Amino acid sequence: MRRPCCKKAEIIAEHNQARAQPSAAWRKINMDAWEGRTLSALNDEAPQQTALLFDDPASFEYPDGKSFADFTVRTKWPLDQLLLTRPHGEIALVATAASADQSLPLDEIGMRIID
């Protein structure tokens, strides 16, 4: 089964006479014990830890998971390669699930995501 973000990218690429190129480099951050949980439930269970996520998201580490810093390190090289392979300003779309952690690389280069 294709992930919704891959399907979205394929539709956009086809509309623009291009092709989608899925890459594991853009996979989401590992939230491990927090995966799939609601913010409300997490806040009820661990209010101090949940507050840390919003107070300092750049250095926050998910319980038994990864940090935004890990995500940034993992995506820096693929992002640099993406930019290097588009020297003449061609548009490159990084389609992801609608989660904030996957928006960070685009934000770093001054792009915004419009849903």
Indicate if 45 and 6 belong to the same structural domain. no
Query: What residues contact residue 73 under an 8 Å CB cut-off, 6+ apart?
Result: none
Which of 83, 73, 90 has the alpha carbon at shortest distance from 25?
73
Measured at the CA of 45, the angle between CA 41 and CA 46, to 5 degrees, comes to 115
pLDDT tens-place string over residues 85-114: 877 766 666 655 554 444 444 444 454 544
| Per-residue pLDDT at 104 | 46
Indicate if 41 and 95 belong to the same structural domain. no
The total domain count for the chain is 2
Indicate if 23 and 77 belong to the same structural domain. yes
Residues across the chain: 115
Indicate if 76 and 24 belong to the same structural domain. yes
| Per-residue pLDDT at 17 | 79
The DSSP line for 25-82 is GGPPP--GGGTT--HHHHHHH-HHHHHHHHH-TTT-B-TTS-BHHHHHHHHHHHHHHH
| Per-residue pLDDT at 91 | 61
Indicate if 77 and 100 belong to the same structural domain. yes
| Per-residue pLDDT at 114 | 46
Indicate if 82 and 112 belong to the same structural domain. yes
Give me the domain span that covers residue 45. 30-65
| Per-residue pLDDT at 73 | 83
- Which residues of the chain fall short of a pLDDT of 70? 1-5, 89-115
| Per-residue pLDDT at 28 | 75
Place of tokens 């003449």: 88
Indicate if 77 and 109 belong to the same structural domain. yes
Indicate if 60 and 36 belong to the same structural domain. yes
Indicate if 22 and 77 belong to the same structural domain. yes
pTM given for the model: 0.53
